[in-house]
Structure 1
Amino acid sequence: MPATSPPEGLDKRDWIAGLEKGLSIIEAFDEANPRLTASQTGVRCGLTRTAARRYLLTLAHLGYVQSDGKLFWLTPRILRLGQSYMESARLPRIVQPFLQRVTAGTQENAYLSVLDGDEIVYIARNGTNRAMSTGYVLGARVQAEVTAAGLLLLAMREPAQLEAWLAQHTLRSFTSHTINSKERLALEMARIRAQGWAISEQQLELGTRGIAVPLRDRHGVLAGALNVTMPMGHEPTDDAVNRVLPVLRETAHAMRQLI
């Protein structure tokens, strides 16, 4: 829902509420709501039907939305927004050769992940195209706490920030292995913070394991997570960690001076 006033730190005269509302219209569409009426869009965005319709018609004129006169849906043109990031951001380009190194050293799919709000986003990828959950597609967004990369990046937050996140966030179960207790999740994040790496098994998808290490820049600032995902098969957890973790750590260390 759009804010009613400028966020803290931004002068009112520099705030364009219409842009915020227009972006909220785009974000109203998702897997559960691929087609919406103006009224439904207004409810999801905190706008009146009339206001939502005006934004939708403007987006339709610009080519980002189509309509049959009642329902509205996004067009492929919307992908230009994400493509602009992928083409202009420096980090995804820099890490690609290093992801290839991880894949060669582990025979697993390798990713660079960043945290955006409550979700993890995969911004670079290397590996085979074997069948995996859509949660592992380049550019996909997944609830952070059910992935190794997300657990790691959350755990690396300042304690007060993490405590506030846990208090406000609603946990969702994806499988029978998903951690859905805030107390247990807090303990898991404390363990991850202490050891400096994370593992997640079957929390998002049955039979899938993820291992992640932090990626820091030359100043020591956390830039994202370097991680692999793999089918668990019959490989024990300890064997998988011993096989993959050294490669991830060595690669993250080698990347540090370049970012």
Structure 2
Amino acid sequence: MPQAPQSYQGDPDDKEFMSTLAKGLAVLGAFGRLRPTMTLSEAAQVADLSRATARRVLRTLTQLGYVEQVGRTFSLSPQILNLGFSYLSTQSWIDRALPLMRELSERLGETCSAAILQGNDIVYVARVPARRIMSTTLSVGSRLPAMHTALGRVLLGYLDEAEIWRRLKSQRIEAYTPQTITDLQALFDRIRDDREQKFSIVDEELERGLRALAVPVLDRSGQAVGAINLSTHATRTTRNEMRDRFLAELNRLAGQVSSIMV
């Protein structure tokens, strides 16, 4: 599914906003799984910049080592990982969660993932795939629409109602499968219900056959810093079985992770 470029527009009245830095980030954000390489013209178009500006940005990023150039095409260099790992290193809960997720995945034979909320997307920060192969290929850094994932809905529930509505209305709701909830009021109600019950189940809404259950990871103040899920194929596990077998396991794991939060 396509990943929309992030917006790097700042407040035009903010005198301290650095538009040059924002343009550089716009170009970096334009690269992704669907656009691993780009020409100068493509980068300018995707990042909504002039060719001259895109050329200066790419030249700077290349000299800094974050972008590589081969002929007319540009791509991210491995050095860009330093930025992502710097963020991950500040999130101690991820290090705590990963071995617990690995043990749970191996014991239950299902994929276990952790994600954070970023805008209208979730971003995977840890993932332990099961040996069973599913059609969805995801890794750390992958993004999915928060509205249609268990990880996303359980995290959206920790926002205030006005902010949930703002995010719902800020994007085009797409039907990925016949089960996808596309009505805004129905989505809002589901998000609030999931917050009330402290878990979310999404059943074949993002992909046929994909069923997932997620719980939040809370800090000491009760705010959600992330979420952890177990995903399975609908032919293997019913919704009731997920509640009976998976929910207690996920809550136990999330509780162990939350216990080390400062």
Normalising by structure 1, we get a TM-score of: 0.87
Three-state SS of the structure 2 residue aligned to 1:3 is coil
Shift in CA distance, 115/4, structure 1 to aligned 2, threshold 3 Å: closer
* 1:98 is aligned to 2:100: yes
More helix by share: 1
State the 1:135 CA deviation.
Answer: 5.0
Match of 1:174 in 2: 176
- Which piece of structure 1 moves more, 98-107 or 23-32? 98-107
Which residue number corresponds to residue 8 of structure 2? 2
Give the match's secondary structure for 1:52: helix
1:200 CA displacement: 0.7
CA distance in 2, matches of 1:120, 1:131: 22
Give yes or no for the alignment of 1:75 onto 2:53: no
Paired with 1:72 and 1:210, the residues of 2 have a C-alpha distance of: 37
1:216 match: 218
| Displacement of 1:244 | 0.5
Count the aligned residue pairs: 255
Shift of 1:134: 4.6
Percent identical residues: 32
1:28–1:44: 8 Å Cα contact kept in structure 2?
A: yes
Q: Any residues of structure 2 matched to 1:67-216 within 5 Å, and which? A: 67-103=69-105, 106-134=108-136, 136-216=138-218
Call closer, same or farther: CA 1:249–1:135 in 2, change over 3 Å. same
Per-residue deviation, residues 124-163 of structure 1 (Å, max 9, x unmatched)? 2335343234554223211111211101111221111111
Aligned with residue 15 of structure 2, among 8, 12, 15:
12
What's the CA shift for 1:93?
A: 0.9
Q: Secondary structure at the match of 2:259?
A: helix
- Find the counterpart in structure 1 of residue 4 from structure 2: none
Q: Structure 1 stretches of 5 or more lacking a match?
A: none
The residue identity in structure 2 corresponding to 1:12 is K
Alpha-carbon offset, residue 48 of structure 1? 1.3
Q: Distance in 2 between matches of 1:191 and 1:178?
A: 17
> What is the deviation of 1:105?
5.3
**TM-score between the two structures when normalised by the length of structure 2:** 0.86
Where 1:19 maps in the other structure, the secondary structure is: helix
Q: Distance in 2 between matches of 1:258 and 1:133?
A: 35
Offset from partner CA, 1:77-126 (integer Å, 9 cap, x none): 32332233334432211222332453355332222221011111121233
Partner of 1:257: 259
CA, structure 1 residues 209+27, in 2 after alignment: closer, same or farther (shift >3 Å)? same
Alpha-carbon distance in structure 1 between the residues aligned to 2:38 and 2:164: 35
